[in-house]
Amino acid sequence: MGRTLGQRVRSRTVRLSKQLFAQLVRDDALGLAAELAYRFFLAIFPFFVFLASVGAFFPSIFRLPNPARHFVELLSQIMPPAASEVFKPEVEHLIATTRPGVASLAVLGAVLIATSGTNAMIKALNRAHGVDETRPFVPRYLLAVAVTLVAGSAMTVAFLLFIEGWIFGAQAAASLGFGAHFLATIRTLYWPAVAVLLIAAMTILYRAAPNVELKVKWVIPGAIVFTIGWLVSTAVFAAYVQSYGSYRFTYGALGGVVVLLLWLYLTGLFFILGAELNDVVHDWFAPEEMEMQRARIQEKTARHFETLGLGPGRRIA
């Protein structure tokens, strides 16, 4: 007797979950998340240097505050308070003192340092998809720099448009007598809009960064899982730190740093979870396509090692 649709769905869900868990263990997701957290920690301040420098051009053009300030405020609402206390004062000072065209070399250095976090994400994505990195160093590094630049610029422009829309919409709503309703609508749509922007950003990252060709439909599941899991886990973690956390008693002045590192660790873990889910989904629905790509990359890797005199069974003395 055939199984019902519900039974087939449950069976597939269980199999997918088992395969996903097996891949997370195989790829040492917990250890890789720790590496990502360390790289994120080193990259977060340089990234805000770049963000503040890009945003410094907008006040003089649009007579608006630096959009980077609003991104910091949003991140402070998402992050546990103890974590935001670590960098928020310094970043706000940086935004207040940054001027367009000033310290361009420092901004260039900040972008290069922030790119280390992007390179770590590329490494994690390659491991999730079971492929080696065969792209030449220069194009791969330029890709990481481009992702960093696009991410910072997109955040700045998005918040600029949001601020412009808020001001224009509030003025129009007030003139029509709908001011309170407009504000209520904005508050209702605020977090869904943040979620949609996150899903879009993660879809682009999951699609463009790894050393495999992926269709958009194969990376959307991971982007959704990352966004929902990250937002929910961050809220839960923030509530725990506020109510039960004893980091200040244990670590003293370093308590905020520890909370920030743990939050970055959670971020890295959900990033890897989304990438592994994309790989499982791709393997399920297009196994031949993925195997062909892996075979081509493996062959390219073998040829590379042969040119170095490191064929099968050879080791560096």
On whether residue 310 sits in a domain, the answer given is: no
User: Which residues of the chain are under the pLDDT cut of 70?
Assistant: 1-3, 51, 53-72, 74-75, 77-78, 87, 94-107, 110, 152-184, 186-187, 244-249, 252-253, 304-306, 308-317
On whether residue 216 sits in a domain, the answer given is: yes
Predicted pLDDT at 88:
73
Q: What pTM was computed for the model?
A: 0.79
Predicted pLDDT at 206:
92
CA distance 235 to 115: 27
Q: Where does residue 155 rank: exposed (0-12), middle (13-18), buried (19+ CB within 10 A)?
A: buried
Cβ-contact 23, 280 below 8 angstroms: yes
On whether residue 180 sits in a domain, the answer given is: yes
On whether residue 295 sits in a domain, the answer given is: no
On whether residue 209 sits in a domain, the answer given is: yes
On whether residue 275 sits in a domain, the answer given is: yes
Boundaries of domain holding 245: 5-285
Predicted pLDDT at 192:
82
Predicted pLDDT at 108:
72
Give how many domains the chain has, as a whole number.
1
Q: Give the residue from 45, 160, 57 showing the smallest Cα distance to 93.
A: 45
Q: 131 by DSSP, 3-state: which?
A: coil
